[in-house]
A and B are shown apart, each in its own frame.
Chain A
Amino acid sequence: EAGVAQSPRYKIIEKRQSVAFWCNPISGHATLYWYQQILGQGPKLLIQFQNNGVVDDSQLPKDRFSAERLKGVDSTLKIQPAKLEDSAVYLCASSLQQAQETQYFGPGTRLLVL
C-alpha cells in the first residue's frame, strides 16, 4: 500500500513570496490533515478535511494560508505572502475516517523563508 505522498520535499523562498504544497493521501482515506511543525515543537494542526469539506480550520492563519481538497482526494496548502515565521516542516496526514482512526503521515515539506 502506497503511503502519503508530499511534494516538494524542500522549498526555499524569500519573504512576501508565495508557495504551494501538494499532498496525495492513502487511497480510500476520507480524512486529510495539514500540520505545521516548527523546529523544536510538536506538530500543530492547521486544517482538517473530511472528504472535500473542512472539519476544522481554527488554527489556520486565514489572512495568508489557504487550503483546498479537490474532489476529496489530493490537497494543496498555499501561503501568500510568506513570512519568516512560516519556516517549518509542513506535514500531511490521512486517516480512514476521523476521530479514533490512526493518522498516517507523509515525509513532510521543509520550508525555509529568507
Chain B
Amino acid sequence: AQSVTQLDSQVPVFEEAPVELRCNYSSSVSVYLFWYVQYPNQGLQLLLKYLSGSTLVKGINGFEAEFNKSQTSFHLRKPSVHISDTAEYFCGYTGGFKTIFGAGTRLFVKA
C-alpha cells in the first residue's frame, strides 16, 4: 500500500529549541521524498527533497532531513527554531506517477 504517515499532528516548541517532525512512508516502487511548508494564508513551498546519494538532505531556512531506507523514514529537523517557523509541514513522495502527501504537522513556536 502507498501511504505517508506523519506521526505528530501538532508540535509545540519554544523558540531556539531543536525540533524533529517525524515522517514514515510505505511504497512498493522507488520514490523521491520531499517536505513542503505552508505558512498561514500562503501556498505550499518546497523545503527540501531527496532523490538519491547522501541520506542527509539540507533545505531552506536551516531545515534538514535524513532518509532512512531500512526504517522507511524521512524525518525533518532544525537545530534552533524561530517564531517565523510556525507553519504546517507536509511530508510526501512521488513514485510511479503518484504523488502522496501526509496529513501534515502543525509546528507552533512559542516565545
CA distance A4 to B4 in the complex (A): 26
User: What chain A residues lie within 8 Å of B53 (beta carbons)?
Assistant: none
Residues of B contacting A: mostly: strand
- Residues of B within 8 Å of A, CB-based: how many? 22
A99–B44 contact, CB under 8 A?
Answer: no
CB distance from A58 to the nearest CB of B (A): 8
CB distance from B98 to the nearest CB of A (A): 7
Residues of B within 8 A of A (CB): 4, 6, 32, 36, 42-46, 49, 51, 90, 92, 94, 97-104
Known pairs A3-B43, A45-B99. 19 more at Cβ < 8 A? A4-B43, A40-B103, A41-B103, A41-B104, A42-B92, A42-B101, A42-B104, A44-B101, A55-B97, A56-B97, A99-B32, A99-B97, A100-B32, A100-B94, A102-B46, A104-B46, A105-B43, A107-B43, A108-B43
